Structure 1
């Protein structure tokens, strides 16, 4: 197979460690009736073993130069449907009927906006398995009171349950990234934590609260929520933002929006 130089502008770090690849495939554990979608397959380190197990899948790859190498790697393994588009502009509706199991070694420079792009399509997703920067996975999976707990984890929790599966050392990639990576599993909630009409209010609450995370809620949320609104939502205004659960924030957002509509 021809050599392909990783491109910095695409945030490419190609996975090559067979032990890590085997653990990822085992975690995904594809079943016969799954619809599989991989984002950023690169040279096919995850694609090829998934194809061996499953026989068909869709992939989204922005770098047209890796596509012939990917096709070569997966030749004879089944039906590989390649979409040469930007994943941030790609809709699951374009693929036809789901639901989809989404996997990927996501470029660190677009991982957070890409996840939020997928959250907007969560009804078409069964689960997601992603390789991300370890720091990002820690934030996704953190609970109240943890130093890593904050805006990213709460906004993710509106849509999904996040589970940190295992860590991946820099040596598993070529070129080596400067940071550790981790595998996270995201499973959509059976019911979202807040109504769609409350999400904008909730996002504003969380953004302001964690910009002043060392202050009490009474001070951190000045101009957005007063003590009466917090107490009506069964929240102590003397707490710090990091002590509230995602459910608490959702309840407060619902209360504020209902009050504004009166």
Structure 2
């Protein structure tokens, strides 16, 4: 019989609750816990992952938009109650909690906002040395893929510019309630020791995003809006398509554009 104290998964929030304890433990164990004292779990639901994080030698905070889950967590994890943030991760100013201190991110992420979670993490990269979580498998593979792959794209390049990305393991739909229609994948991001780029970072983001918006075209065509000089466009790198360029080559490309003058 279903426990009346259970939270019902809500489709509009993209909720799929993990029911397998050993997978929850493996996700919790994927963090190295080095370089920070605080961990933020996104979308804890009924706390299957949370309870393993609470055993760690760090301070766990959770951020949850679902009021029913918030009530469940406060009732069932009393010593966590004052660290339950009832907010939307994508809109909330996390420094109201972390006050510019470093923290790690972890979670079984709602599929519908998982890419946006990564983009927000990249914005906060100065504060986030480590990130572990579960995505739709296809998205996890995309984040970790290298140049030359069909799935290599904006997420891959921008994430790997600042973090080492590692695909850890695949999770089948059967261990969720309700089961999603696809496999999930768990990945870990560890911030690079030197993660500042030798080029203008805003321009780098623009070059990568613009390049991949027309991924079938050569960069000479897809980057037309940058008004490049003919001299620069003659460079062989512009004859390539975006998925052929490594992260280092995208940095090189940004530097070329930055220094371009008629």
TM over 0.5: yes
Q: Shift of residue 112 of structure 1?
A: 1.1
Residues 1:226 and 1:190: Cα distance change in structure 2 (over 3 Å): farther
Give the structure 2 partner of residue 69 of structure 1: 72
> What does residue range 52-201 of structure 1 map to in structure 2 within 5 Å?
52-54=55-57, 56-75=59-78, 81-97=83-99, 98-192=101-195, 194=197, 198-201=200-203
The structure-2 alpha-carbon separation of the partners of 1:238 and 1:22, relative to structure 1 and needing over 3 Å to count, comes to same
Pairs aligned (count): 257
Q: Is the 8 A contact 1:56 1:79 kept in 2?
A: no
What displacement does 1:102 show? 1.2
2:150 & 2:229 partners in 1: Cα distance?
26
Give, in whole Å, the separation in 2 of the partners of 1:127 and 1:208: 28
Displacement of 1:31 after TM fit? 7.0
Give the corresponding residue for 1:237. 238
1:186 Cα deviation after fit: 1.0
**Pair 55,144 (structure 1): closer, same or farther in 2 beyond 3 Å:** closer
Q: TM-score, normalised by structure 2?
A: 0.87
Greater Cα shift, 160-169 or 239-248: 239-248
Using the TM superposition, give the Cα deviation of residue 156 of structure 1 relative to its aligned residue in structure 2, in angstroms.
1.4
User: For the residues of structure 2 that align with 1:203 and 1:65, how far apart are their CA atoms?
Assistant: 38
Deviations along 1:167-218, one digit per CA (max 9) or x if unpaired, are 111111111111111111111223336357x334333332333233333333
Query: Cα offset for 1:79?
Result: 7.1
Residues 55, 258 of structure 1: alpha-carbon distance in 2 compared, 3 angstrom cutoff: closer
Contact 1:56–1:80 (Cα < 8 Å) also in 2: no
TM-score by length of 1: 0.87
Alpha carbons of structure 1 residues 137 and 254: separation in structure 2 relative to 1, 3 Å: same
RMSD: 2.6
Question: Which blocks of at least 5 consecutive residues in structure 2 are unaligned?
Answer: none
**Cα drift, residue 44 of structure 1:** 0.2
1:133-154 Cα offsets, whole Å, 9 max, x none, are 1111111000011111112111
In 2, distance between residues paired with 1:131 and 1:69?
Answer: 22
5+ residue gaps, structure 1, are none
Given that 2:229 and 2:260 are in contact with CA atoms closer than 8 Å, whether structure 1 keeps it comes out as no
Q: Cα gap change, 1:237/1:52 in structure 2, threshold over 3 Å: closer, same or farther?
A: closer
Deviation by residue 1:86-134 (Cα, 9 ceiling, x = unmatched): 1011233112352111111111111111221121111111201011111
After superposition, the Cα gap between the structure-2 partners of 1:227 and 1:138, relative to the gap in structure 1 and judged at 3 Å, is farther
